[in-house]
Amino acid sequence: MNWSRRGFLGAAALTGVASATPVLANIPGGVRKVGFHNLHTGEALDVAYWENGAYVPDALQAVNHVLRDFRTGDVHEISPKLLDLLTSLSARLETGQRFQVISGYRSPQTNAHLHELSGQVASGSLHMKGQAIDIRLPGVDLTHVRDTALSMAVGGVGYYPTSDFVHVDVGRVRRWSGS
Ligand SMILES: [Zn+2]
């Protein structure tokens, strides 16, 4: 299969439509909820981040905090579109489990450090923009998480079977595998 062509078509299909509509096609009701368990800090958060037709600022701040760079303590805005992606993913997987978080926001210094340590960390990572997250879901096969994320054609999907996580982001539609 020619993934670059598929990615191009996917990206083209997303332009010219109302923002977030394709992401949320599968989400019922007027409330959007997301749950996180940050594996580095042990913190958990269950929050309704969209209610009555709008994002909830306090809830978004709570998300920003739980997904902060745990190495430096830096807090950065997490893209609400990324939360919508996760909400849709959770609905499609029919799981009520919290997302276990391996990596959320990464400050430039943390990302540069990890990039030096590992060829798996991109120097221009979307983690630095709050547009990417590395996750797994307890009780859900990692390949199922990957394939479902790919079927949404929202952004990038990276599969890391040895490290046991899937990277998702709201950048261009693309895919890759790591270890
Ligand atoms: Zn990642």
CA–centroid distance, 71 to ligand 1, in Å, is 16
At 25 the pLDDT is 55
Q: How many residues does the chain have?
A: 179
Residues 176, 170: Cα–Cα separation, whole Å: 15
Q: Do residues 135 and 164 touch, judged by C-beta distance below 8 A?
A: no
CA–centroid distance, 84 to ligand 1, in Å, is 17
- Measured in degrees and rounded to the nearest 5, phi and psi for residue 168 equal -125, 145
What amino acid occupies position 85? Answer: L
CA–centroid distance, 127 to ligand 1, in Å, is 6
CA–centroid distance, 17 to ligand 1, in Å, is 27
Q: Which residues keep their CB under 5 angstroms from ion ligand 1? A: 132, 134, 167
At 30 the pLDDT is 82
Model's pTM, two decimal places?
Answer: 0.85
The domain spans of the chain are 3-177
CA–centroid distance, 103 to ligand 1, in Å, is 7
CA–centroid distance, 52 to ligand 1, in Å, is 31
Residues 53, 61: Cα–Cα separation, whole Å: 18
Dihedral angle sign, alpha carbons of residues 79, 76, 120, 89 = negative
CA–centroid distance, 108 to ligand 1, in Å, is 14
CA–centroid distance, 141 to ligand 1, in Å, is 18
Q: Give the CA distances from residue 171 to residues 31, 125, 140, 144, in Å, rounded to whole numbers and listed in that order.
A: 25, 10, 24, 21
Give per-10-residue mean pLDDT for the chain (179 aa): 41 40 58 96 97 95 98 98 97 95 97 91 94 97 98 97 97 96
At 103 the pLDDT is 97
Tens digits of residue pLDDT in 123-167: 889 999 999 999 999 999 999 999 999 999 999 999 999 999 999
What amino acid occupies position 98? Answer: R
The DSSP line for 72-102 is T----PPPHHHHHHHHHHHHHHT--PPEEEE
